Structure 1
């Protein structure tokens, strides 16, 4: 399969990219982002694209793909709703609508977050905006759309978060996370599990369109 990864420099994106490059049934991976990943691999092609709300100049390069793993996400801390909407809803839909037009047989996997509100009525701003984004994606004419709502994720194999506060958190909890994940496998995931679950969603489909942590854990296992 041919795969596009958005946000491959973030924590989830790094993990997904690693699993894609290691998968024998993935023949090509194109990453799209403002900065290069710094990785080199025979399967990998990087598309550095500064304007993440406009793909007119690169649209033809993003046609003919089987899957898109959309891993771009920003924290809502310090943002007004208008700004967060621009960075979340507008940015995601700009890419997704273009991809749906160019790749109608594609499976699109979107990394949202635990607590996203599909009713769009939550008092918490980010939950409403994420829910609105999810709902808009589910209406697009892809072969399949899957929404992933992970909670805590353990970074593995050198994967690091770009957010400094998250890096501190993962550094402090590093000795505990493997134990906690073993005790709570349906609540705490790992970056390899996220990547494997996304690939399996493309390979085999998923039992539901919106997947919480327990669903992602189940989907990450070999078929």
Structure 2
């Protein structure tokens, strides 16, 4: 499986990258990001594109061909951001990459990480939820083999996955023990970066029962990843 990964330098994207590199049926991971990663795995191909957030043409067509799965984990916080800017960085950037990929690798499965509370009606009062819903809807109309949207809620970073946002890092560190207990008690509500990565890989292999997956559905798919015999 050839995987294209956006957002590998972030908390969730880093966790997804780890699962890809550990999985035998993933042969190659092309990571597109603005800065280099510390990883040096033989499977990993890094494409450092400092300005691709504002100019998606920096991404080479060659990196968008022969892709079996694209995991789009790139995202920004809407806090303090205007709707215009948030839309450009969330809807605009995602669609610029996805539309090109759909033309060059229509056989690919596209998995987009959104968030619990995204507004599919695009009419609600929450700005970030409207923009996320608009992005989800547009992606689901593209001509990929499959498109699936993940809407996780509470995520626990594992295996040294770290948020790039200072306040989130502090919060995750403080809540770490509680998240561990909560995940054991409510595994389908509090997901880990590991579980989400495994679910994304299984979706790439076999799809999922629904197009938009909440936390419980993500967890259920991750369990089938282990049953496939391809997890590690």
Q: CA RMSD in A?
A: 1.0
Deviation at 1:20, TM superposition (A): 0.2
Distance (Å, rounded) in 1 between the aligned partners of 2:56 and 2:16: 24
Shift of 1:204: 1.3
Cα distance change, pair 57–4 in 1 and its aligned pair in 2 (3 A): closer
CA apart distance, 1:161: 0.5
Matches of 1:85 and 1:5 in 2, distance apart? 21
CA distance in 1, matches of 2:98, 2:217: 23
- In structure 1, the residue matched to 2:18 is 18
Query: 1-side partners of 2:50 and 2:14: how far apart?
Result: 19
Determine the C-alpha separation between the residues in 2 that align with 1:187 and 1:97: 32
- Equivalent residue for 2:88? 86
Q: Which residue of 1 aligns with 2:51?
A: 51
Whether the aligned pair in 1 keeps the contact of 2:51 and 2:58 (CA below 8 Å) is no
* Structure-to-structure mapping, 1:1-223, within 5 angstroms: 1-52=1-52, 53-55=55-57, 58-221=60-223, 222-223=226-227
Cα offset, 1:61, TM superposition: 2.6
Provide the rounded CA distance (Å) in 1 between the counterparts of 2:188 and 2:101. Answer: 32
- Runs (4+) off by over 4 Å: none
Task: State the secondary structure of the residue aligned to 2:123.
Answer: coil
The Cα shift of 1:50 comes to: 2.2
* Runs of at least 5 residues in structure 2 that lack an aligned partner in the other structure: 228-232
Q: Does the residue aligned with 1:175 lie in a helix, a strand or coil? A: helix
Equivalent pairs counted in the alignment come to: 223
SS of the equivalent of 1:3 reads: strand
Secondary structure of the 2:100 match is helix
Checking the alignment, whether the CA contact within 8 Å between 1:55 and 1:98 is kept in structure 2 is no
Deviations 1:105-140 (A, max 9, x none): 000000000000001011000000000000000000
Calculate the TM-score normalised by the size of structure 2.
0.94
Distance 1:12 1:159 in 2: 7
Q: Return the offset for 1:56.
A: 5.8
